[in-house]
Amino acid sequence: MIALSLAEIAAATSGRVVLAGDDTPDTLVDGYVDTDSRKIAPGDVFVAKPGEVTDGHNFVGTALEAGAALALVEREVDVAISQIVVADVVVAIAELAREVVARVRSRGELRVIGITGSNGKTTTKNMLRRILEDEGETVAPVASYNNAVGAPLTMLRVRESTKFLICELGADAPGQIARLAGLVTPDVGVVLMVGLSHAGGFGGIEHTARAKRELIEQVRPGGVAVLNADDHRVAAMADTARERGLGVRLFGESADAAVRATSIAVSASGTDSTLDVDGAQFPLHLRVLGAHHVKNAMAALTAAIALGVDPSDAIARLETIDLAERWRMQVMGSESVRIINDAYNASPDAMQAALRTLAQITGEGERMVAVLGAMSELGEHDVEEHNKIGLLAVRLRIPRIVVVGREARALFLSAIAEGSWSDEAVFFETADEAYDYLKDELRDGDRVLVKSSNAAGLRFLGDRLGELFS
């Protein structure tokens, strides 16, 4: 965080200063801001956020012992550390982020990029960060810091020397993207796709589309909307962008895309394609598995070009990426038994893409194994979408389908109904039961996809299998 006095922080957060030690209202604080006392270092600001399981106010003392200079609290705590008491710490860090970003912007060359979409946000964020970090100091979220807490914490990491701030913006309800994007009014807004992820919370896919459009509505005048030409709901946001006087840059496989991919081919060594960038041709080799990651790369490339980055430089940087993110198409195990751990998130679109990738990278004499768990937050579409995945797995001729967890049972039943006989499809209540089965079932030549939503916890099963067969 930039250096601010206690009085300035209190003003930004509508808080009350409680001083400790030799501190005065003019005492400056410039450390990082975090809600986890275990991550606090000397000079940092600890945010005592109440939670469902525990209360951050109980850890103010721990934060002080770690060297925290300030605690942001909702009630005064009997600990010898200066505190700013606010009505709601989550609202307070958002307002503090708004103030910090505005100050940095007024002093320097900070450019802000917002990224949203039902799938691909974290991968695209990481790709864009890799492109921009060679252009100047870049701040981007850790993991998937994209909610009402994580997004402001990322924003608060900017300093006077920061040139680019990448904000990953997720939402589980209407209005959340507007609030988060409104804190920083991005120069570039990237919308990847509209799918059924979180559809239960939004009330349907059209409501999801409206929520994603909130980002474009918050891009500052003169900014650029980067939109997926292949998703008609996203492409339609160009009208909103143009009405607001924004530039529009489309990416995708459609003929009208400014950044367009052709000749996409997936193999065990990565994903190849040819990119047409405003009429110029560039080969692209991604070490990351999956045709869907070409779309993420195009989104990152299009945003980078909008920020003035040379396309050839950006593509060269994309080609250095080994892993999009942990638990996202992460290749583990060995040449004999390759484990693809992609169990951090799973929407219907992402699940289909992962299964197709498994089929594409499995060669002659090798066996496909799909270890599948539940897709979360689908609402009324839950059974229907799990049924579709079961059908697809069978139609891709995956000879061993391992379904884990009661929430995914509809997927298993669908596979059986489609014609997955005998032990071709098996079901286990727990990941431990699935592990006991797989450790004896897997053999040389197997190519194993582990895919589920984060809540299903199969990423840890993927880790165990990767270690076992390494």
- Residue ranges for the known binding site for ATP are 117-123
β partners of residue 50: 55
Question: Per the structure block, which two tokens stand in for 65?
Answer: 């012992």
List binding-site positions: 117-123
| b/e code 231-245 from CB counts within 10 Å (16+ = b) | bebbbebbebbeebe
Residue 160 vs residues 95, 98, 198: alpha-carbon distances, Å: 18, 15, 36
What sign for the dihedral angle of Cα 166, 202, 239, 250? positive
Question: Per the structure block, which two tokens stand in for 356?
Answer: 């197709």
* DSSP collapsed to 3 states, the chain: CCCEEHHHHHHHHCCEEECCCCCCCCCEECCCEECCHHHCCCCCEEECCECCCCEHHHHHHHHHHCCCCEEEECCCCCCCCCEEECCCHHHHHHHHHHHHHHHHHHHCCCEEEEEECCCCHHHHHHHHHHHHCCCCCEECCCCCCCCCCHHHHHHCCCCCCCCEEEEECCCCCCCHHHHHHHCCCCCEEEECCCCCCCHHHHCCHHHHHHHHHHHHHHCCCCCEEEEECCCHHHHCHHHHHHHCCCEEEEEECCCCCCEEEEEEEEECCEEEEEEEECCEEEEEEECCCCCHHHHHHHHHHHHHHHCCCCHHHHHHHHCCCCCCECCECEEEECCCCEEEEECCCCCHHHHHHHHHHHHHHCCCCCEEEEEECCCCCCHHHHHHHHHHHHHHHHHCCCCEEEEECHHHHHHHHHHHHHCCCCCCEEEECCHHHHHHHHHHHCCCCEEEEEECCHHHCHHHHHHHHHHHCC
β partners of residue 205: none
Which residue, chain included where needed, has tokens 């008491």? 85
Which distant-in-sequence residues (6+ apart) come within 8 Å of 75 by Cβ?
Answer: 57, 85
Of 129, 122, 104, residue with least CA distance to 169: 122
Which residue, chain included where needed, has tokens 């980055």? 309
